[in-house]
Structure 1
Amino acid sequence: MNDPNTAELTVGVVGAGAMGQGIVQVSLTGGMAVRLHDARPGGAEAGRDAVFARIDRLVEKGRLDEAGAEAAKGRLTLIDGIAGLAGCDAVIEAVFEDLQLKRKLFAEIEETVSDDCLIASNTSSILIASIASAARKRDRIAGLHFFNPVPLMKLVEVVRGPETSQATVDALVALGKRMGRVPVVARDAPGFLVNHGGRAFTTEGIRLLHERVATPAEIDAVMRDCCGYRMGPCELMDLTGIDVNLPVTDIIHEGFSQDPRLKTFFPHRALFEAGRHGRKTGAGHYDYDETGRITGAPSPDHASDAAPAKAVALAEPDAALKAFAEGLGATVLDADDGTSPILAAPVGEDCATLAHRTGADHRRLVAVDLVFLSEARATIMTPPGADPKARDAVAALIARAGRKVTAIKDSPGFVAQRIQAMIANLGAEMAQIGVAAPEEIDTAMELGLNYPKGPLALADAVGPDRVMAILAAMQDITGEDRYRTSLWLRRRALLGLSAHVPD
């Protein structure tokens, strides 16, 4: 391939749908000549018109001057067939997800372009190894996976197939940068990097629903207010579409030999079978009006008329919990008086386990998540058989200080500890099996899914040892390998190292 930064670089794009249009736009604004082909009659023309309209809007918004816009438009050529790709330096395929179609298309492209022309697929779900298996020169084939909408989503995954050369990877990284994207290099594996890493957020949310720990609104509110996500897992699934995220989850779960850390649970499939596919159908985890706004969802905020607790006991010594309670204006008793609420701040445990371990009266036990506590919201939970008066008195005490309160059923790891620990653990496992380097895993999840912290940065922020403790408690309580700690995370936790430390 020619120097990716040369002014004469020509990129071919096959497929003028939404993704193809975005790739064309960032290629044109990156100073490259583009040849666009679409097999549908009028498809290339419609794609061109859509791209030019968006370039015009950039001018209107002051993000591109008129001379630059006209120059960009002038670099686009529509071609009638694959033969028009002759002379391209790189060709990017952006047709729909059909393996046989892609193989046939790649064979036609190979017969047309020179041996040093790179051929990349924008596939999001098909292994590059499968696409390249029938190719003549597999070393120049890779994935170049953009995210929709391409002009707004800065990330692009450069997917290294089993036979992709380093020169090809380096050239595609440079090409992605010229397009104004942030490239990350990922291993050819089910879901690549972002779709693989995103499973923990949504599937653990589904698991919480499966166990009836909390409602969709409660789960989403906790993850937004206590952890900084723009959307909670239920909102996100409704936005992407249940008909999209369930099949992707199944593919990745199957692709990794049914690893229980990647599986989803019945409420996910129940929504799919019911046709409740999210915003697009007007119903998913939530109901939506014609504008796409959620309607009729119960409040995630616990409400009661109870008076705030004046005094509390602690289930076990805990300096941070004592400071929290005293900061709310409560007296922390030196010994249980037999009537006041009993506070605990478990890490990974549920209330039933903690009550059994400490001997605390489960009827008055109220647990507070101090690991993921924000000024906006606190999460509390109680065990089976608890007195609602104790819960309500603690909720009122917290609410008096200005925090909203979400009260959930008993759960190892509350809501946030569970989801966050699973995100960190999956990121660590991806590092362990070489999906990508730790820093690139973080970059991909922050840019591709708008995570406030990448999985390994999250592990470091919470503490690898604490993340491991949460997972270990959940595995012990549930007996499930779903919560087994990645060796990557375990080794670094035991040695007191950052989750980013390489092997």
Structure 2
Amino acid sequence: MEQNFPARLGVVGAGAMGAGIAEVAAACGIPVTLLDARQNAATAAIDAILGRACKRHAAGKLEQAQLDRLASALSPAEDLSDLAACDLVIEAIVEDLDAKRGLFAQLEDIVAPDALLATNTSSLPIGVVGAALHHPERFAGLHFFNPVPLMKLVEVIPGPATAAATMDRLNAFSLYIGKEPVIVRDTPGFLVNLGGRAFATEALATLQENVATPAQIDAIMRDCCSFRMGPFELMDLTGMDVNFTVSQFLHQSHFADPRLRSTPLHRYMLETGQLGRKAGRGFYSYAEGAAAPSADARTDAAPATQVGLAENLPELAEFAAGLGVEVLAQDDGRAPLLAFPLGEDVTAHALRLGLDPRRVVAVDLAFDTTRRVTLMTAPNGDAGLRDSVAAAVIASGRAVTAIADSTGFVAQRIVAMVANLGCEMAQMGLAAPRDIDKAMRLGLNYPLGPLEWAERLGASRLLSILRQMQALSGDDRYRPSPWLRRRAELGLDSWAA
């Protein structure tokens, strides 16, 4: 299969992934032969593809010529021998190593010597799947994302013996069918599944520490960091049977790296059948009429009219000005003291600065506060002072989420972990830095890639947040990546290039 398309594609496995791959290739005019071991499954998948296409045509979203091209390009197969003329065969069967190895052993004797073989596995190492092939140079991973017609990303993963020409041809094929390929090193979870762990597992750690509720954490990550879904909403969507299993696999595969550690609650949700949307209950209830839990603080307190500033920081002064409150030139011993800790909890921050922890109301100003403001107080914090600040924020037209004392609030710790894991993937050479960002944005719909988050926060600030969390928690989960540390200490600005 050279770059002069169309070529003939074979797809083994007519489930959601295989059918999706067949659909996008056929829509580009590539003849596709679809095979499934289940009787009539390939034919049923093609009928479903054409049924959806006919609906789009009837709605004026698909031209007749496009519908005709799709219909003429798709054909079912009855046997592996029907794939003999294919230039590329993509496997999309069950995630079972022996099943995949057995399939490729048969395909290798059926297709032409210059035909390519690819696996769509999302977790099994490419080199392990292709270890027994006689011609591993023509074999690689081609990891699509579900739903294939909508998701632009394709991870192209070489095995230890994959030829450069094979990678070039798979790259060209991916581009031809409208996808954005990213070359990724062969490692457990590849890039997106590995990089995506931090968002969920740090949210779970925050919940385990009783810092905030799932609804509060989700609201903060949506409103302050522009994620389309919060981590608990996302876990409920994918299902605990998927996300816990992947998290456990990656944690074990990376020799129990604490940065990939989940929590007992995550496992408990799986074991008790609280799988998420598919089960009607996960971190949220999906029963008919179930009320959505609120993330917003409610208070009858009078809005604060005077505040002190824990430090002379421009962010704090600007925030206070936005509340319309008077900033005291000298502490009167009564007013709330606004603070902006980075990576610290209120307890450590107040004691370090010699402040009364009872009066300190911490505000996370590291992210967007135009829609929601996160407030945090020490265990002995004065609830009345906190509520007066909350009332002033609410009066300014914004929502408030009040959380328990935590190193790094909520958003700081989750974003810092996302960014740090991205830096570690860059250190490992899993992909080019900008490709790491592109893959995470396209594969997970993140508003920014992990290295873009690091640049947004600033390398020095990110390093400080991680170091504070590591020191105060004593947990190497927060150890900074050497890739980040070196660039922060060197003062590099365009360090994700």
TM-score (norm 2): 0.98
Kindly state the Cα deviation for residue 499 of structure 1 after the two structures are TM-superposed.
Answer: 6.2
CA distance in 1, matches of 2:205, 2:40: 46
- Answering whether residue 79 of structure 2 is matched by residue 81 of structure 1, we say yes
Kindly state the Cα deviation for residue 44 of structure 1 after the two structures are TM-superposed.
Answer: 1.1
CA distance in 2, matches of 1:500, 1:338: 45
Of 318, 328, 353, the residue aligned with 2:348 is 353
Structure 2 SS opposite 1:208: helix
Of 165, 173, 176, the residue aligned with 2:174 is 176
- Answering whether residue 378 of structure 2 is matched by residue 383 of structure 1, we say yes
Decide whether the 8 Å contact of 2:434 with 2:496 is kept in 1.
no
CA distance in 2, matches of 1:36, 1:168: 22
The residue that corresponds to 2:237 in the other structure is 239
Once the two structures are superposed, residues 141-163 of structure 1 have per-residue CA deviations (whole angstroms, 9 ceiling, x without a partner) of 11111111110111111112122
- Greater CA drift, 64-73 or 175-184: 64-73
Once the two structures are superposed, residues 63-110 of structure 1 have per-residue CA deviations (whole angstroms, 9 ceiling, x without a partner) of 431122112211222211111111210000011111100000000000
CA distance in 2, matches of 1:80, 1:30: 24
Kindly state the Cα deviation for residue 181 of structure 1 after the two structures are TM-superposed.
Answer: 1.0
User: Unaligned stretches of 5+ in structure 2?
Assistant: none
Once the two structures are superposed, residues 95-132 of structure 1 have per-residue CA deviations (whole angstroms, 9 ceiling, x without a partner) of 11111000000000001011211100111111111110
Residue identity opposite 1:155 in structure 2: L
The residue that corresponds to 2:139 in the other structure is 141
- Answering whether residue 420 of structure 2 is matched by residue 425 of structure 1, we say yes
The residue that corresponds to 1:408 in the other structure is 403
CA distance in 2, matches of 1:444, 1:467: 21
Kindly state the Cα deviation for residue 313 of structure 1 after the two structures are TM-superposed.
Answer: 1.1
Decide whether the 8 Å contact of 1:5 with 1:174 is kept in 2.
no
The Cα RMSD (Å) is 1.2
Residue identity opposite 2:303 in structure 1: P
CA distance in 2, matches of 1:469, 1:63: 51
- Greater CA drift, 486-495 or 402-411: 486-495
CA distance in 2, matches of 1:476, 1:206: 20
Of 176, 190, 196, the residue aligned with 1:198 is 196
- Answering whether residue 283 of structure 2 is matched by residue 285 of structure 1, we say yes
- Answering whether residue 389 of structure 2 is matched by residue 394 of structure 1, we say yes
Once the two structures are superposed, residues 351-406 of structure 1 have per-residue CA deviations (whole angstroms, 9 ceiling, x without a partner) of 00011101111111100001013211000100011110010001011111111000
- Answering whether residue 31 of structure 2 is matched by residue 33 of structure 1, we say yes
Decide whether the 8 Å contact of 1:439 with 1:500 is kept in 2.
no
Residue identity opposite 1:399 in structure 2: I
Once the two structures are superposed, residues 408-465 of structure 1 have per-residue CA deviations (whole angstroms, 9 ceiling, x without a partner) of 0000110000000101101111111011111111111111110000111111111111
Once the two structures are superposed, residues 313-351 of structure 1 have per-residue CA deviations (whole angstroms, 9 ceiling, x without a partner) of 122222220221122111111221111111101111100
TM-score (norm 1): 0.97
Q: Structure 1 residues 379, 460: CA separation in 2 closer, same or farther (over 3 Å shift)? A: same
Kindly state the Cα deviation for residue 298 of structure 1 after the two structures are TM-superposed.
Answer: 2.6
Q: Structure 1 residues 298, 495: CA separation in 2 closer, same or farther (over 3 Å shift)? A: same
CA distance in 2, matches of 1:175, 1:61: 30
Kindly state the Cα deviation for residue 62 of structure 1 after the two structures are TM-superposed.
Answer: 3.3
Structure 2 SS opposite 1:390: helix
Decide whether the 8 Å contact of 2:451 with 2:496 is kept in 1.
no
Structure 2 SS opposite 1:306: coil
The residue that corresponds to 1:50 in the other structure is 48
Of 286, 304, 309, the residue aligned with 2:299 is 304
Decide whether the 8 Å contact of 1:442 with 1:455 is kept in 2.
yes
CA distance in 1, matches of 2:341, 2:494: 23
Of 117, 123, 126, the residue aligned with 2:124 is 126
Decide whether the 8 Å contact of 2:336 with 2:385 is kept in 1.
yes
Q: Structure 1 residues 493, 281: CA separation in 2 closer, same or farther (over 3 Å shift)? A: same
The residue that corresponds to 2:357 in the other structure is 362
Q: Within 5 A, what are the aligned runs for 1:486-497? A: 486-497=481-492
Kindly state the Cα deviation for residue 500 of structure 1 after the two structures are TM-superposed.
Answer: 4.1
Residue identity opposite 1:260 in structure 2: P
Kindly state the Cα deviation for residue 55 of structure 1 after the two structures are TM-superposed.
Answer: 2.2
The residue that corresponds to 1:481 in the other structure is 476
Residue identity opposite 1:442 in structure 2: D
Structure 1 SS opposite 2:297: coil
Decide whether the 8 Å contact of 1:456 with 1:499 is kept in 2.
no
Structure 1 SS opposite 2:147: coil
Of 245, 249, 252, the residue aligned with 2:250 is 252
CA distance in 2, matches of 1:197, 1:385: 37
CA distance in 2, matches of 1:263, 1:57: 45
Of 17, 20, 45, the residue aligned with 1:19 is 17
CA distance in 1, matches of 2:312, 2:69: 69
Decide whether the 8 Å contact of 2:200 with 2:231 is kept in 1.
yes
- Answering whether residue 437 of structure 2 is matched by residue 442 of structure 1, we say yes
CA distance in 2, matches of 1:53, 1:488: 50
CA distance in 2, matches of 1:62, 1:172: 33
Decide whether the 8 Å contact of 1:246 with 1:272 is kept in 2.
yes
Counting aligned pairs with the same residue, the percent is: 53
The residue that corresponds to 1:463 in the other structure is 458
Once the two structures are superposed, residues 150-177 of structure 1 have per-residue CA deviations (whole angstroms, 9 ceiling, x without a partner) of 1011111111212211111111111111
